Amino acid sequence: MRTRISGTGVAFPKRAVSNAELSKRLGLSKEEIVKLTGIHTRYWVGEGETAATLAVNAAKSALEAAACPIDQIDLIIVSTTSPNMFFPSTACLVQRDLSARPIPAFDINASCTGFLYALSLGNNAIQTGSASHVLIISTEVKSPFLDLDDPSTSILFGDGAGAVVLSPGQEGIRTIRLFSDGSRHQLIQLPAGGSRQPATHDSLHQGLHTMKMEGKVLFRMAVKKMESALTSLSEECALPLSDIDFFIFHQANLRILEALLKRKKIPMNKTEITIPRFGNTSSSSLPVALDSAVRQGRLKSGDKLVLCAFGGGMTWGIALLDW
């Protein structure tokens, strides 16, 4: 018995932010933003919209798709780098708002690789028998932490949530491999706000509560680490990449995806591209792209599916599933 994804769902804020809206402030044309990132629109939260509200809506959609009542869920794991607050966890707020039983619910933070980390934990829970059905949610609200005068981040990130329900099945997860390298933590970070550097007037004045990113280095590392993960997976499973039916990658930047696909000779029609519509939604991007592929009927029963991501920390990971 394996662990299968029995349902997927997504949720986005109401406000769509176009390149035209950002270009006025940044001095970049709409065409230049597309050339740099491949992004045309992204969604940012407004009043009353939070990581928790997006998570709840994505969860409801996934539960409906899985035909799984909330009282059958035995564990809730939320991946987020932008929780509603430091504590209590966003997962506890989701558990409350879904009217779930008093089951375990907790957050994890593995940046853009967080969905794969959560997927691994959910898989372990089912395989060890501690849970029959697991709700995994990635929810990210990065817009409040963007310096709108910094084009390296403000044009990239969008808000959104993606969720999956995990259940026992004859097909499903074959393997998940996770990695990290904390020596590269400075490549993308939110410097202040934690116990190392609590919020002060000075930290606010210095802009240390907005995201900082070394874009060019991060670009190269993302391609390198995901390429390495693909090669290792292929060798470990004795499975040529050409035999894999479908790939879903973290939607960080369209140019990263294009470089990776070219280097590994993966055809564009074997992957799902959602970044033009939603931007980089951090750990939510994998389940968002997965939901898009599922609802378009692009994944068929028995397909060999690879999920691969790279994120801050640094973290990266890869999973192989039989759909």
Claim to verify: residue 71 and residue 200 sit in the same structural domain: no
pLDDT of residue 215 exceeding 90: no
Decide if 68 is catalytic.
no
Q: What pLDDT is recorded for position 176?
A: 98
- Asked if 32 and 69 sit in the same domain, the reply is yes
Q: What is the CATH number of the domain that holds 136?
A: 3.40.47.10
User: Closest Cα partner for 270 from 232, 224, 235, 306?
Assistant: 306
280 classed as catalytic: yes
Catalytic residue among 68, 123, 250, 253: 250
Render 180-240 in DSSP notation, one character per residue: E-GGGGGGEE--SSSSSS---HHHHHTTTTS-EE-HHHHHHHHHHHHHHHHHHHHHHTT--
Could you tell me which residues are beta bridge partners of residue 313?
A: none
Cβ distance 77 to 137 under 8 Å? yes
For the entire predicted model, the pTM comes to 0.97
Q: What percent of the chain has pLDDT over 70?
A: 100
Nearest to 93 by CA among 59, 52, 136, 141: 52
Q: Token pair 């403000």 is at which residue?
A: 154
pLDDT band at 322 (very low <50, low <70, confident <90, very high): very high
Predicted confidence (pLDDT) per residue in 257-269, tens digit: 999 999 999 999 9
Pairwise CA distance, residues 137 & 146, whole Å:
23
Residue pair 158/288 in contact (Cβ under 8 Å)? The answer is no
* pLDDT for the residue numbered 303: 98
Residue 238 and residue 141 in one domain? no
Residue 160 sits in the same domain as residue 189 = no
Q: Is 40 a catalytic residue?
A: no
Shared-domain flag, residues 206 and 161: no
Tokens for 291, please give them. Answer: 């939901």
Question: Of the residues 129, 144, 169, which one is the last residue of a structural domain?
Answer: 169
> Which of 112, 123, 133, 253 is the catalytic position?
112
Whether 234 contacts 254, CB under 8 Å: no
Average pLDDT, the chain: 96
Q: List pLDDT tens digits, range 150-173.
A: 999 999 999 999 999 999 999 999
Q: Could you tell me if 119 and 53 lie in one domain? A: yes
Q: How far is CA 16 from CA 158, 160, 236, 289, in A?
A: 9, 11, 42, 18
* Number of domains the chain contains: 2
Same domain? For 187 and 62 the reply is no
pLDDT of residue 24: 85
- At position 94, the amino acid (one-letter code) is V
Same domain, 36 and 144: yes
Q: Which is the catalytic residue, given 19, 123, 253, 280?
A: 280
- Shared domain check, 106 and 163: yes
- Nearest Cα residue to 175 out of 130, 104, 119: 119
Q: Where are the beta strands (DSSP E) in 116-200?
A: 134-140, 160-169, 173-180, 188-189
Domain boundary among 116, 137, 169: 169
By residue range, what is the domain housing residue 310?
A: 175-322
Which pLDDT tens digit goes with each residue over 84-135?
Answer: 999 999 999 999 999 999 999 999 999 999 999 999 999 999 999 999 999 9
Residues 82 and 163 both lie in one domain: yes
Q: Say yes or no: 182 and 155 in one domain.
A: no
Q: Tell which of 151, 169, 187 closes a domain.
A: 169
Q: 187 with 154, same domain?
A: no
Cis peptide before 88 (omega within 30 of 0): yes
